[in-house]
A and B are shown apart, each in its own frame.
Chain A
Amino acid sequence: QSALTQPPSASGSPGQSVTISCTGTSSDVGGYNYVSWYQQHPGKAPKLMIYEVSKRPSGVPDRFSGSKSGNTASLTVSGLQAEDEADYYCSSYAASNNLGVFGGGTKLTVL
């Protein structure tokens, strides 16, 4: 099972919006509405930010939003803040292994 494709880096200035893409196939991202996004600060465990494409767990700011079109899912962070600087990983259910698959991760820099 190949990893989902994410850009290695993304950046934006405070207050701006940035969108991170996550491209898979019809056997994972495109076939199921089970895309999730995780934020990981250096030295910390990942944290769930978005599940089922666009749902936010309790406590996650509404500046974080998710969407999907075809085989590509996206995470948008609006009103960028310094604390949003982190690595972001997408994940999807993968029919090929009846498990999940992660993207390679995107390092978000707040300029």
Chain B
Amino acid sequence: EVQLVQSGAEVKKPGESLEISCKGSGYSFSNYWIAWVRQMPGKGLEWMGIIFRGDSDTRYNPSFQGQVNISVDKSLSTAYLQWSSLKASDTAMYYCARPIMGRGVFISLDYWGQGTLVTVSS
């Protein structure tokens, strides 16, 4: 069974750093991309970016470029979403998901993690 299991909820202060994780199992993690999606409270879904093997295979939504860092450790079947300096506006639910790609083009997100709630408040 394909599963994406995310790390637990976080409460942080503005300016702090944070890394959340997404561990895949039940499939060949190294052969698939991982996507990160943001959902702010009461709002819709937003693409953040996707990663395959590393920096050379990472695409960011321009709205998130420079705001977050996406990385992956294929040996641990785990993807990461990192912030170096959180803002209150980063408060949101963050989902990882498995994109189905066709010739490098995104087709759909077929499996999703359970979400990680990040709360940033002074």
Number of A-B residue pairs with CB-CB distance less than 8 Å in the complex they form: 72
Q: Is the CB of B44 within 8 A of A51?
A: no
Q: How far is the CB of B102 from chain A (nearest CB, A)?
A: 8
Q: How far is the CB of B101 from chain A (nearest CB, A)?
A: 10
| B63 (CB) vs chain A CBs: closest residue | A1
CA distance in complex: A22, B52 (Å): 29
Interface residues on A, range: 20 to 34
| A residues 43-79 touching B (CB-CB < 8 Å) | 45-48, 51-52, 57
B120 CB–A CB distance under 8 Å: no
Q: Contacts A46-B112, A48-B108 given: A38-B50 contact, CB under 8 Å?
A: no
A32 surroundings in chain B (CB, below 8 A): 105
B1 surroundings in chain A (CB, below 8 A): none
Given contacts A38-B109, A93-B106, A105-B45, 4 further A-B contacts (CB under 8 A): A36-B109, A46-B112, A91-B45, A97-B62
Query: Using a CB–CB distance below 8 Å, which chain B residues touch chain A?
Result: 37, 44-47, 49-50, 59-62, 95, 97, 99-100, 102, 104-115
7 residue pairs of the A-B complex, CB under 8 angstroms, read A1-B61, A36-B108, A38-B45, A46-B95, A98-B105, A100-B99, A105-B45
